Amino acid sequence: MKKILQVFLYDLLFLIPLIVLFIFFNIVFFLKFPLIWPDEAIFVDTAKNIIENEIMATNLFNDAIPGLQLHSVWYPPFYFYILSFWINFFGSSIESIRILSMIVSFVTVVMIYFFGKILFVNRWFAFLLAFIISIDFYFVQASRVARMDILSFLFLILTFFLFVFIQTKKNYKWYFLPGFFAGLGIITHPLGTIPAIVCGLTILLESLPFKKKIGKLLYFGLPILLCSLVWFLSIKDSLSLFFEQYRLQFLRKDPIKASLVKLFTEEIYWKLTLIVYGGVIVTFIYKVIQKMRSINTRNIWQEKFILVGVFISIVIILWGKEMWYPLYLQPFIAIIIVYLFKNATEKKNDVFFTFVMGIVIFVIGIQTFFLYDVFQKMAGVTYNYHDFTNQIQKQLPKKASVFLATIPDPYFDLQFNKNLTLYEFPTVPVTEKAYHNLLDKTDYIVINILPQQYWFIEEYVKNNVDNIVVVKQPGGYSAKIIKLKDKSKRR
């Protein structure tokens, strides 16, 4: 008991700075970075519908996006049920739902530390791994935004933690544990497939007899299949909607650049960062080749696991294209950096140690720079979400239908006014007729962004505007409130 307490206290010493850093970021950036996103409104509205009507659906687009009023199947369901359970007890305010993400991200930070500890068998290296990911630009964003990314990321870390842990176990039944969390990842987010693919391929690449590989894969794959079956059964009566809604998602992504490509081509500091990441990966591959040539180090399952993870995450991120997805690459980049740092401290090679130290300092420095840049842009700016939404609400009559195309999205305060019917701009391409039908049901448009197919809104407003009011905070948020003509007088 005394030894367990001593181990706990040692780990706590390393976790306290990570927890302090986590709390600091969430106090500074809580409702301001990222700004309150329309996705958050759509997800919360879908979760509320589970509570009210026992079905994943939303009326925020009316019938512009096929089937969403009946069954929202364009995302896996697990996060929405977790969110509906949370809302049922703690409400659907923006503070409440972002706190849920913060709790998940807090658990993630702690688990990253223990994952690093079991992977590198050293608290200092575990701390370095957790620190690098904790200050990552994408992790800091995902840690509070009400999307499923952070829950999916937690399942990724839990899967990898358990997968590394069971390497010391001879009984194949242990593979059920990482398989369970990999399965939860799949029914949480499309990129939840990453841990399942990475661990599955690592097993296949292990230097083991064929029967042992199959045994491991069966125990690992069974819970994944069970979770996937649960998802299938939940949508089996809506398969046509599933394919149509996913078709629209891919149609939306088709013309846009992958986020990594966009960062590399458009942002000089990100270009430099991605070049360094590429250098880190190449250096790691070189070290792996060196190790493979060593007679005494034939078992390199860890290196295979890391290489597979890097390759799969890059491919899926480039395929997925979304701005949030680089988050899923960061664990592998951080693992490689810590691996090289550990290797450099073990080898008596001053040149290699200096090179790796330079990489560590650069990565910590550039991520700090990205976050400080955001902090600088926020400094002295009067951001007040609730004041902003209150100004908007004052310009609306007691009863109206309101079309929102605004960041930060005022949905979270306007939702409590039961006399307002709220619509969001379609987040995927829809027909001009469907867009106009949605606008025909609208009395007011609140807008400060240029959403997809903005020209439909522009044309509609040009033909049907009655009055425009601008609400703004000095140095803060602003939006146009467009009152449309009476519905009987529109063109």
Q: What is the DSSP string of 348-382?
A: --HHHHHHHHHHHHHHHHHHHHHHHHHHHHHTT--
Residue 467's H or E segment, with its range, is strand 465-472
> Which helix (H) or strand (E) covers residue 422, if one does?
strand 420-424
Is 442 in contact with 423 (CB distance < 8 Å)?
A: yes
> What letter does residue 132 receive in the DSSP assignment?
H
Query: In 3D, which of 139, 109, 112 has the Cα closest to residue 29?
Result: 139
Q: For strand 444-447 and strand 465-472, is the pairing parallel, antiparallel, or unpaired?
A: unpaired
pLDDT tens-place string over residues 174-215: 999 999 999 999 999 999 999 999 999 999 988 778 888 898
What burial class does residue 9 get, using C-beta atoms within 10 Å of its C-beta: 0-12 exposed, 13-18 middle, 19+ buried? Answer: exposed
Q: Which residues pair with 424 in a beta bridge?
A: 404
Q: Pick the closest to residue 131 from 13, 15, 280 (CA basis).
A: 15
Question: What average pLDDT does range 368-372 have in this prediction?
Answer: 94
Cα–Cα distance, 352 to 342 (Å, whole number):
11
**DSSP letter at 465?**
E
Alpha-carbon gap, residue 11 to 416, rounded angstroms:
44
User: Which pLDDT value is given to residue 47?
Assistant: 97
Determine the average pLDDT of the residues in 48-52. Answer: 96
Q: What is the mean pLDDT of residues 251-276?
A: 89
Whose tokens are 């070049």? That residue is 275
**386-421 pLDDT per residue, tens:** 999 999 999 999 999 999 999 999 999 999 999 999
CA–centroid distance for 398 within its chain: 37
CB 360 within 8 A of CB 449: no
Mean pLDDT of 221-226: 96
* Ranges in the chain annotated CATH 3.40.190: 385-489
Q: Are 202 and 305 in contact (CB under 8 A)?
A: yes
Sheet of 400-405, strands arranged across:
420-424, 400-405, 444-447, 478-484, 465-472
CB 105, CB 144: distance < 8 Å: yes
Separation of alpha carbons 407 and 393, rounded Å: 15
- Which tokens hold the place of 435? 């867009």
Q: What percent of the chain has pLDDT over 70?
A: 98
Query: E-assigned strands of 17-149?
Result: none
Q: Is the full-model pTM beyond 0.85?
A: yes
pLDDT over threshold 90, residue 261? no
**How confident is the model at residue 309, as a pLDDT?**
95
Between CA 328 and CA 458 the distance in angstroms is 37
The two structure tokens encoding residue 197: 């693919």
Domain spanning 385-489 has what CATH number?
Answer: 3.40.190
Q: How far is CA 489 from CA 206, 330, 464, in A?
A: 71, 54, 8
Residue 157 φ then ψ, to 5°: -65, -45
Closest listed residue to residue 112, CA positions, set 11, 41, 217: 11
Instruction: Quote the mean pLDDT of the chain.
Output: 92
171 or 467, higher pLDDT: 467
- Do residues 54 and 426 touch, judged by C-beta distance below 8 A? no
What pLDDT does residue 299 have?
Answer: 66
